[in-house]
Structure 1
Amino acid sequence: MSTSLEKLTQGGLSIGIELPLDNDWSPGGDAKRQRDGRHHGVPDIERHAELAQLADTLGFRALWVRDVPLYDPSFGDAAQVFETFSYLGYLAGITRNILLGTAAVVLPLREPLLTLKSAASIQTLSRERLILGVASGDRPVEYPLFGRDYESRGATFREQIALLRSGARGYLPAGIEVLPQTRTPLPLFVAGLAQQQPEWLGKNMDGCLAYPGTPADHARRVAAWREVAGAKPYVSFIHLDLAEDPDEPLQRHRFGARAGRHALIGELDAMRHAGVDHIALHFRRNRRPLDETFNEIASEVLPQFHQDMTEQPA
């Protein structure tokens, strides 16, 4: 059975989806949000299970969830609403093949032994489908509310990476363990720099999660990552509004673009040539129904990039 790290990059550039599974930032989605009385950035999650299963069935490579413990109106983004590990456990139970990634768990806010137990539980229950993206956090308001020190978050991050890497061996009294123990080490991807030096990240992390950008942006970032990390995976995201006209040219917006599928294929191909290993598509600005969009991408775009993955979970 392949590991989640191997599956992520199998066949070259792979394509996933970043949750939430709602287009609440589109004009129509925002109007519905206001009718429903939801705060800005709080998605409609009524169809989340159906759409997650559709993404799995259609062959998208990964589902990515974010770690947003508290809704802060000044940020205006509740991500997928559900608590990260609880939700991953649910997604593991309703899907079969799609990888499950975090983008990213804010380690210094969490109790490290419970983070290890949660991640090991998801990895075991999902049959090795977890990609554990981690970060130091960028929202100062959260730290005092959790009784954590914001200024020391870099050192705390390093300490927690060491604990996760060891499975807590050497951190506990003799005979005490954190169960379950995973078959293979947890794959750890870093979001941003996490208050660390690039060389430390290249040595201690299995991959990186980069902010959205153009192919030229990624070519520069990939080069810097390769210098410290070699061939370890480089992952990023596109906020996509897929046009109904397949020939509509690409128009960039913040963190992504509106484009027809032919321009999307061109953009993804440019990302592949820039050295990107995986792109997750984010659909909150997408104007079309998400099931329609997923089906078009699966039938017309994924075959340009994915080789067949015939292996089934054990």
Structure 2
Amino acid sequence: MLAPLSRLTAGGFSIGIEAPLDNDWTPAGDAARRQSGRLPGEPALHRHAELARLADRLGFAALWVRDVPLYDPGFGDAAQVFEVFAYLGYLAGITRDILLGTAAVVLPIREPLLTLKSAATVQALSGDRLLLGVASGDRPVEYPLFGRDFENRGANFREQVALLRDGARGRLPGGLEVLPRLASPLPLLVAGLARQTPAWIGEHMDGCLAYPGTPEDHLRRVAAWRAVAGAKPYASFIHLDLAERPDEPMQRWRFGFRGGRDALVDELKALRAAGVDHVGLHFRRNRRPLDETFHEIAEYVLPLFPAPWAGTRVPAEETCDA
């Protein structure tokens, strides 16, 4: 099996999914949230395992999860709720092929040795499917609650990257070691600049997790990334509402669009032409049932961007496992 970063870019372009696996940013989804008593932005999780298994079986390249330690009503988005490494360990146990990525772990508020141990554990349990997205964080309220300095997060980020790179070797008293040992170097992808210079990011990171944007936005961003990082992977995301009519025209909004699968294919081709290596699809705005949407994309879109390592896809008429 290819290493995670090689798999992410195998075939020149790949398509993944970003959790949470719900569509709670739709009118119907928001009504269900209110009825259930969930907080604004708190996702419905009753189908997350079923949908994760389906995404794996259908041949999506990666499943990305966010790291949001505390719910902040000022942001209004609880993300995927579960502690990120515990959740990845669970997902590793119920999936077989799909890469498991973080988008992204906020390093400066975490205890460095435990972050290393958690990442190495997920790497081992998943069969080397971990893509470790990392960031310096942008929610000031979290730092004092974790006993961390917000203003010093850039320096803290660099120190933690160094520890993740060397597995804490030489940083512990004699005879002590963090287990499990890293089977291979952790693939580190950065969200934003993490309070670093572009040159530092290009040298020390293995890939880029870029904010969503239009193909024109990414054309500029990819050029800036390539200037400092060469051919290292560049990934981004689309907030998608896949219309039932295949030919429904695109209606753009911030971070994505609504449109039929023809519009989705055109957008993905434009992103690939702009130099994007991977796109994760985010479905919280999607009005249709997610299993139906996953099947349509797997049947009509994924074959246009084939990944040579992908597993066998199930026919579109099959339903999710319970």
Q: Pick the TM interval, shorter chain.
A: over 0.9
4+ residue segments displaced more than 3 Å: none
CA distance in 2, matches of 1:107, 1:307: 31
Deviates more, 1:102-111 or 1:301-310: 301-310
Deviations 1:214-234 (A, max 9, x none): 000000000000000000000
Identity %: 74
Report the residue type matching 2:40 in the other structure: H
Partner of 2:232: 232
Deviates more, 1:302-311 or 1:183-192: 302-311
Partner of 1:83: 83
> Is residue 14–residue 307 contact of structure 2 (8 Å, CA) maintained in 1?
no
| Secondary structure, aligned partner of 2:53 | helix
Partner of 2:40: 40
| Secondary structure, aligned partner of 2:201 | helix
| Secondary structure, aligned partner of 2:279 | strand
Report the residue type matching 1:288 in the other structure: R
CA distance in 1, matches of 2:150, 2:310: 45
Q: TM-score, length-normalised on structure 2?
A: 0.96
Partner of 2:100: 100
Cα offset, 1:310, TM superposition:
5.4
Cα RMSD of the aligned pairs, angstroms, is 1.0
For structure 2, the 5+ residue unaligned runs are 313-322
For structure 1, the 5+ residue unaligned runs are none
Cα offset, 1:307, TM superposition:
3.0
Report the residue type matching 1:108 in the other structure: P
CA distance in 1, matches of 2:83, 2:211: 22
Partner of 1:181: 181
CA distance in 2, matches of 1:287, 1:310: 28
> Is residue 222–residue 276 contact of structure 2 (8 Å, CA) maintained in 1?
yes
Cα offset, 1:182, TM superposition:
2.0
Cα offset, 1:311, TM superposition:
7.0
Q: How does 1:290-301 map to 2 (within 5 A)?
A: 290-301=290-301
> Is residue 24–residue 284 contact of structure 2 (8 Å, CA) maintained in 1?
yes
Q: TM-score, length-normalised on structure 1?
A: 0.98
Report the residue type matching 1:139 in the other structure: R
Deviates more, 1:24-33 or 1:211-220: 24-33
Count how many residue pairs are aligned between Structure 1 and Structure 2. Answer: 312
Deviations 1:82-141 (A, max 9, x none): 000000000000000000000000000000000000000000110000000000000001
Cα offset, 1:39, TM superposition:
1.0
CA distance in 1, matches of 2:86, 2:306: 29
CA distance in 1, matches of 2:192, 2:199: 13
State whether structure 2 residue 14 is matched by structure 1 residue 19.
no
Cα offset, 1:44, TM superposition:
0.5
Partner of 1:117: 117
State whether structure 2 residue 242 is matched by structure 1 residue 242.
yes
| Secondary structure, aligned partner of 2:11 | coil
Q: How does 1:187-226 map to 2 (within 5 A)?
A: 187-226=187-226
| Secondary structure, aligned partner of 1:72 | coil
Partner of 1:305: 305
Cα offset, 1:250, TM superposition:
0.8
CA distance in 2, matches of 1:87, 1:194: 24
Partner of 1:55: 55
CA distance in 1, matches of 2:309, 2:161: 31
CA distance in 1, matches of 2:236, 2:40: 24
State whether structure 2 residue 127 is matched by structure 1 residue 127.
yes
